[in-house]
Amino acid sequence: MRIGILTGGGDCPGLNAAIRAVVKRGTSEHGCSIVGFRNGWQGVIDGDARPLTRDDVSGILVEGGTMLGTARCHPHKVPGGMEAVIDTIANEKLDGLICIGGDGTLKAAGKVSEAAGVPVIGIPKTIDNDVVGTDAAIGFDTAVTVATEAIDRLHSTAESHNRVMVVELMGRHSGWIAVTAGMAGGADIILAPEAPFDIEVIAKKIKHRHRYKNFSIVAVAEGAIPAEGTMWHGGATLDERGNPIAGSIGTEVTKHIEELTGFSTRLTTLGYVQRGGIPTAADRLLATRFGIAAIDAIVRGESHKFTAIQGEHIVLEDFQTMSGKTKWVPQELLEAAWDL
């Protein structure tokens, strides 16, 4: 069998580990040929493919990013895109396609599968962890680890200078990184899209805390939203696709806290370091298990499914399970974050 593989959407740590697992398991165990496409769906449109051997994936387990490159491209939104994709799949004589990506990448995979009559299996990756149907997606554990280390570092400056330190973390639609890294890093206030905030209430909490402590840490998801009807509900500035612009909500929160509390307040916008670099052990393991499950599934004829971890087990879920949905931070975890 000839199996194609691509990575789509934003990059994150662990993509290479998944590619490696597909190639090693696919070639050794199943006798497959693996074909890698450059830059996500763009490479399928362009026919930019190359065979991947065990040698090609040697040593990439620990490397961040993706050796295949990635791009935000959806073939059904590009004129002539679907036709080009069908041609490439025919030319490459593919018996299946493994797509590593988020919701957008897998949605495209579903359409391609139907149009080209080729089975597809998805592997979910997103540092935002908002994929329904799986406990975790590739990249999340590393992002939380990097964010937690940053909060650890900010603690000492906050305490030494009697300051409020605001740290804006990734998370446009859900607050997984802010909530979990905030809890792990001992943040005193955590703002996530799941629970719109009242800046005056936040300021009061900080003032109360500063009666017995001289510093505070505030973790803010980039998609956090001020509640309707509160003193300030400007929210984050949005880009043309409706996504918050990095730093914008953090800047506002920082300014308002300083004004309302009178305490010296500083912002750190962590940015791209959250999605790059060496994957954690947990992400390497998850990506490896997903890669194995994906190639095994496609070889035995499955399609329209994505690999998922549920408790200790790797399972397959229908594309339907995640499609168009967002996995929110559960109420129990949000409350735990607030109560400490």
Residues 273-302 touching a copy of itself, rule: CB under 8 A, are 273, 275-278, 280-282, 284-285, 288-289, 292
- Residues with catalytic annotation? 128
Instruction: Kindly compute the dihedral angle of the four CA atoms of residues 164, 165, 170, 175, in this order, to the nearest 10 degrees.
Output: -30
Please pick, from the candidates 91, 157, 243, 323, the single residue that binds a copy of itself as defined by CB under 8 A.
157
**Residue 148 interacting with a copy of itself (CB under 8 A):** yes
DSSP state of 76: G
Amino acid in the structure at residue 209: R
**Spatial contact of 267 and 166, defined as CB atoms under 8 Å apart:** yes
Radius of gyration of the chain (CA): 22
**Residue 70 interacting with a copy of itself (CB under 8 A):** yes
Min dist CB 15 to a copy of itself, Å, is 8
Angle at 168 between CA 124 and CA 12, to 5 degrees: 25
* Contact code string over 11-50 relative to a copy of itself, x by CB under 8 A: x-x-x-----x--xx--xx---------x-----------
Nearer to a copy of itself, 8 or 75 (CB): 8
CA–CA gap between residue 90 and residue 87 (Å, rounded): 5
**Residue 258 interacting with a copy of itself (CB under 8 A):** no
DSSP three-state, residue 136? coil
Question: Does the CA dihedral 151-63-129-40 come out positive or negative?
Answer: positive
Nearer to a copy of itself, 56 or 63 (CB): 63
Question: Does the CA dihedral 104-108-110-111 come out positive or negative?
Answer: positive
**Residue 155 interacting with a copy of itself (CB under 8 A):** yes
DSSP state of 275: G
Amino acid in the structure at residue 98: I
**Residue 78 interacting with a copy of itself (CB under 8 A):** no
**Residue 238 interacting with a copy of itself (CB under 8 A):** no
Looking at the DSSP bridge assignments, the partners of residue 165 are 217, 266
**Residue 95 interacting with a copy of itself (CB under 8 A):** no
235's torsion region: left (phi>0), alpha (psi -120 to 50) or beta?
Answer: left
Min dist CB 28 to a copy of itself, Å, is 7
**Residue 152 interacting with a copy of itself (CB under 8 A):** yes
**Residue 88 interacting with a copy of itself (CB under 8 A):** no
**Residue 340 interacting with a copy of itself (CB under 8 A):** yes
Residues 6+ apart with CB under 8 A from 256: 199, 203, 232
DSSP three-state, residue 192? coil
Nearer to a copy of itself, 49 or 146 (CB): 146
**Residue 305 interacting with a copy of itself (CB under 8 A):** no
Stretch that binds a copy of itself, among 57-65, 93-101, 120-128, 223-231 (CB under 8 A): 57-65
Min dist CB 254 to a copy of itself, Å, is 12
Please pick, from the candidates 228, 240, 300, 312, the single residue that binds a copy of itself as defined by CB under 8 A.
312
Question: Which has the closest alpha carbon to 105: 91, 87, 133, 126?
Answer: 126
**Residue 214 interacting with a copy of itself (CB under 8 A):** yes
Stretch that binds a copy of itself, among 116-124, 142-150, 194-202, 223-231 (CB under 8 A): 142-150
